[in-house]
Structure 1
Amino acid sequence: MFGRPARPRHAIAIPARDEAAQITGCLDACRVALDATGGGGVILLLVNNATDDTVARATAWARGLPRNGPALDLVDVSLPPAHAHAGGARRLAMDLARAHLSADGVLATTDADTRPAPDWLTATRHALDAGAALVCGRLQFDAAEWAALPAAVRRRAVVEGQYRRLSLRIATAIDPDPADPWPHHGMACGASLAMRGRHYDRVGGLPAVPWAEDRALARRMAAHDLPVRHADRVRVITSCRMAGRAAGGLAATLAAPLTQPDPLSDEDFAPPAILLRRVSMRAILRRHWGQRPGFGAAWAALDAASPALRHPRMRWSTVQAHLPQLAQFASLVCGHSRLPARRLAS
């Protein structure tokens, strides 16, 4: 432990594995974001199963901290194989960071290869104070690394970005969420998540799944009727390297076009007809549910039980093939915002 803040209002959890080249840049950015809040805070760095000098570099960085600045809680651990994955490491880091906070303290998490914007935490607090329970920040790629990516990788990222945005536009037109108004980026990413300590406790913490723990947390929050906000003003810059540390992570997704003839696409993508059915059914349920508590759990149960709402995970070729139809549907739906959801669901 380097420094001991009396009552930190913010804690940042960072899981790291073999991140010696990136860690000081991440810690510098987190320190600036904490300083901008004026309230101090603690960075919980969990170095797990490392084989490089991440710990040594973080220690050297911490020795330069001013006495009245943020603290660094540095944890070096070897997780057993069953827990040595992205969700297991982030869950442990967040649990340890949560221990520094009161119920109203802000618990945030980012990645060791990521640099939060200077106003990352102040913009996060603005969204929390406005009623959000989980704030999902906007991820931007490092410009130099993006420019160096192979053309096939960049093209896939651009096309999938179009598919995501059109899908979001359709969803928000048919089933607008008052807590998450359009426009927004629509992604829950471990590089930028934040919530208050009491809300983390209420949902039982981060799901310790091998990958996509960030989306699992967002679903868990929604199932507890806790508002999820995809805040465009909350920004981080992250690496778009293709050699990653976690199975199923961003690096593996980026590299897929170079190693697979027809890779799987984002798990949230749905064919246009099924997307319309899903958001229309959710709109119908939301309208009939009204202001009663329990809508989130009801939708999660319906989603899990109904075969009509399920679909196989889409491949890259299918995303490309469906993109023109999705654009047509978006134009139709947004041009006829009063079209009854019941017609679309059929």
Structure 2
Amino acid sequence: MPLRIGIFTYEDESISISGACDRAKIACDSRRRNYKSMIYPFDRGMLTEIEKKQYIIENLDRVIRERQIEVYYQPIIRTANGKVCCEETLSRWNDPEKGCLSPEIFIPTLEETNSSYKLDLYVLENVLQKLKVQADNGLFIVPQSINLSRSDFYSCDIVEEIRRRVDETGIERNRIVIEITESALVDDVEYMTREIKRFKNLGFTVWMDDYGSGYSSPSLLQKIPFDLIKIDMLFVRQLEEEERSRIIVTEIARMGGDEFVVIAQGEDYDNIDILMGMIAKLNHEHHLENQVVVAAGMARHQPGEKVADVFRKADRKMYENKRALKNER
């Protein structure tokens, strides 16, 4: 069992003994997700981080109501044909008082307080609104993926909440892709397997997100019926230099079935052509023709008519699905 120790150096007599103990506890809890035995000294930045977390907890309902959390859509491109086959949703908290809050801060905070389901359902509602605008304007679409946190499954009946919202809009369930991280599964594999099967029985597609970022148990790929696996970028960065990494990624892809996803985020945008060529070569050599790769960069789709404008201007040749949603309903 790992041991975490928080230390506060008592130099200010204006701080009470209980206050000093609180600061040591803050230092100890600051790396709660680190499972190594470590000693953590307190610093004032930890208080600032706690203040931010408290602000997030107290203001979540307000920023959702005032739509200060913006949803972005990142294209997923299939290497076999170079076309967009799906879009991944990303959220950004733009607060008028605090500025842009990093997802690395607000998402773990919401997970710790079992409030992440509010954000995830808000993102879903934005996605459904965008798809509805596209449907009403007879525009083509591709499936949209949303990320669910582990705490979503314990805070509410997230499967039913998503089903109800999707059905109320008239959007086909297979247009929504559910993403669940590998780390969300390990605490209760049996329960999460049942919930994933519920999604699949209702007609939703389910992906494993960030495989290889933590636990990386091959047994999960065999036990849980994921439709697709997203391999963490840490694996991919080593593909060009290490034969061993290429073998590992190839075997993971084979275990995962017909498809897997490679992540290329942010700073990798300039190298996306190199990455796609590398993965395409891997696909060809090992007969994995259906693999896809996530292209970096975020395209912001505004609510209402602006969504229709975005897709009217888009080159339909970029997308796999050229049929209008209206014609399918």
Same fold (TM over 0.5): no
TM-score scaled by length of structure 1: 0.23
TM-score scaled by length of structure 2: 0.24
Structure in which a larger fraction of residues adopt strand? 2
